[in-house]
Amino acid sequence: MQFPFWPRGENVQLHGSYDDSFIPLIQAFRQIQPQAQHNSRQSGGSALAVYFQGKKVVDVWTGAMKQDTPWQEDSMALSFSTGKAALAMLVHRLADQGLLDYDHNIAHYWPEFGKNGKDRITIRHVLAHQSGLFDIRQNIQSAVQMLDWHDMLKVYENATPRFEPGTKVAYQALSFGWLLGGVVEKVTGQSVCEVFQKELVTPLGLDGAYFGVPASELERVARPIILNKPQQAEDNQKTRPATQKKLLPNGRRPLTLQEKMIKLTGLDPYEAEDALMPKGISRFSFFNDRVLQACIPAANGVFTARSLAKMYAMLVNEGEIDGQQYLSPERVRLLSQIQNTQRDRIMSIPMNWRLGYHRILSLGKRVPEGFGHIGYNGSGAWCDPSRGLSFAYVHNFAGSSITGDPRLWWLTQTALQNADLSLTGKKG
CB atoms within 10 A of CB 30: 17
Share of the chain above pLDDT 70, in %: 90
Between 258 and 149, where is the model more confident?
Answer: 149
Confidence of residue 266 (pLDDT cuts 50, 70, 90): confident
Position 2 scores a pLDDT of 43
- Kindly state the average pLDDT of the residues 315-344: 98
Position 6 scores a pLDDT of 35
Position 232 scores a pLDDT of 38
Confidence of residue 281 (pLDDT cuts 50, 70, 90): very high
- Kindly state the average pLDDT of the residues 233-259: 64
pLDDT at position 322 over 70: yes
- What's domain 78-215+287-405's superfamily in CATH? DD-peptidase/beta-lactamase superfamily (3.40.710.10)
- 141: nearest Cα among 291, 347, 270, 284: 284
CB atoms within 10 A of CB 169: 24
Between 266 and 325, where is the model more confident?
Answer: 325
Rounded CA separation 161/319 (Å): 34
Backbone angles phi, psi at 303, to 5 degrees: -150, 155
Confidence of residue 238 (pLDDT cuts 50, 70, 90): very low
The DSSP line for 368-406 is TT-EEEE-TTS-EEEEETTTTEEEEEEE--S---TT--H
Position 245 scores a pLDDT of 65
Sketch the domain layout of the chain as residue ranges.
78-215+287-405
Residues 6+ apart with CB under 8 A from 216: none
Per-residue pLDDT of 32-87, as tens digits, reads 987 644 334 448 999 999 999 999 999 999 999 999 999 999 999 999 999 999 99
Confidence of residue 403 (pLDDT cuts 50, 70, 90): low
pLDDT at position 239 over 80: no
Rounded CA separation 19/43 (Å): 28
Confidence of residue 233 (pLDDT cuts 50, 70, 90): very low
Most confident of the following: 222-226, 359-363, 371-375? 371-375
Position 244 scores a pLDDT of 54
Position 404 scores a pLDDT of 67
Confidence of residue 251 (pLDDT cuts 50, 70, 90): confident
Rounded CA separation 32/39 (Å): 21
The DSSP line for 254-302 is PPPHHHHHHHHTT--HHHHHHHH--TTGGG--TTSHHHHHS--TTT--E
Position 8 scores a pLDDT of 40
Evaluate whether 180 touches 298 at the Cβ level (below 8 Å). no
Position 246 scores a pLDDT of 83
pLDDT at position 1 over 90: no
Which are the catalytic amino acids?
81
Position 10 scores a pLDDT of 55
- Kindly state the average pLDDT of the residues 304-315: 98
Position 249 scores a pLDDT of 81
Position 260 scores a pLDDT of 81
Position 405 scores a pLDDT of 77
pLDDT at position 12 over 90: no
Per-residue pLDDT of 71-83, as tens digits, reads 999 999 999 999 9
pLDDT at position 311 over 60: yes
pLDDT at position 11 over 70: no
Average model confidence (pLDDT) across the chain: 91
